Structure 1
Amino acid sequence: MNYNELKARVQMGEEFQFYYLKASYWISKNKNGYYLTRVRDSFSQSFLSSEELFKKGQIYGHKISEIWSEIDI
């Protein structure tokens, strides 16, 4: 899957688990918004839209697009 496909699938409501630097992350959605969560400590960032998640969501100060090549889905 490429980055644009991930964005499109999240926008359609799919949820994903992925790994970065051996840590597990979860992109999820509910009626209140979209979430980017680090699983080990449940640290979560919340967003009103999938677009906002991909624009503002960060992992160790990096957007998902910046570290995409290092992410394992």
Structure 2
Amino acid sequence: MEYKEMANSLSYGEEYNFYYNGEEYWMSRNDDGNYLTTVSSEETQEFKTATDLLEKARIGDKTILNIWEEIKDQF
């Protein structure tokens, strides 16, 4: 899947989990917002929109786009 396709489907409510550097992450959504959760610690970053999640969520100091080449095969 291409990044743009994933971003578009995320904005329509699709949810994804993926692994990066030995951690599992979950991108999810409900009526209140969009979330990036680190599964092991249950630490959650909250955003109003899927676009905000993709632009502002951080794994370390990187965005989803910054790590896309490393995780894209999981989508």
> What TM-score range do you get, normalising by the shorter chain?
over 0.9
Show structure 1 runs of 4+ deviating over 6 A. none
Equivalent in the alignment of 1:45:
45
Unmatched 5+ stretches in structure 1: none
Equivalent in the alignment of 2:12:
12
Shift in Å, 1:57: 0.6
* Letter of the structure 2 residue corresponding to residue 44 of structure 1: T
Could you say what the CA RMSD is over the residues aligned between the two structures, in angstroms? Answer: 0.9
Equivalent in the alignment of 1:62:
62
Q: Distance in 1 between the 2:44 and 2:61 partners?
A: 14
In the superposition, the TM-score normalised over structure 2's length comes to 0.92
* Letter of the structure 2 residue corresponding to residue 63 of structure 1: T
- Percent identity, please: 40
